[in-house]
Amino acid sequence: DQQVKQNSPSLSVQEGRISILNCDYTNSMFDYFLWYKKYPAEGPTFLISISSIKDKNEDGRFTVFLNKSAKHLSLHIVPSQPGDSAVYFCAARPSGNTPLVFGKGTRLSVIA
């Protein structure tokens, strides 16, 4: 039972344009959402997060939007740069002391 779903395995975007990565979840008890970025041969690194009490969080070129009624969140990268090419994982935290639940990841390729 995949509680966090990233339905697009891959995405290609031209340099300078907007990248939009999507994530859907099924568990309404998730209270915190995170995006991680992973380069080949490296571990995932934290990118940006959002609490369930907010609908938007911005950090430089990265913005995460949360739509609780639709159980959907998205990560916007503007403008996209070749160095953004990586696998992006959406993760959610159930309430309480329970581990993060990750999606399967979306591979972003930013083409120069």
What are the residues binding other proteins (CB under 8 A)? 6, 32, 34, 36, 41-46, 49, 89, 91, 93, 97-105
- Residue (10 or 14) nearer to other proteins, CB: 10
DSSP state of 50: E
The identity of residue 54, as a single letter, is: K
Q: How far apart are CA 28 and CA 44, in angstroms?
A: 25
Minimal distance in Å, beta carbon 29 to other proteins?
Answer: 13
- Residue (65 or 102) nearer to other proteins, CB: 102
Q: How far apart are CA 2 and CA 97, in angstroms?
A: 20
Minimal distance in Å, beta carbon 48 to other proteins?
Answer: 9
- Residue (6 or 63) nearer to other proteins, CB: 6
Minimal distance in Å, beta carbon 41 to other proteins?
Answer: 7
- Residue (71 or 104) nearer to other proteins, CB: 104
Minimal distance in Å, beta carbon 93 to other proteins?
Answer: 4
CB 66 within 8 A of CB 52: yes
Residue with tokens 């999606």: 103
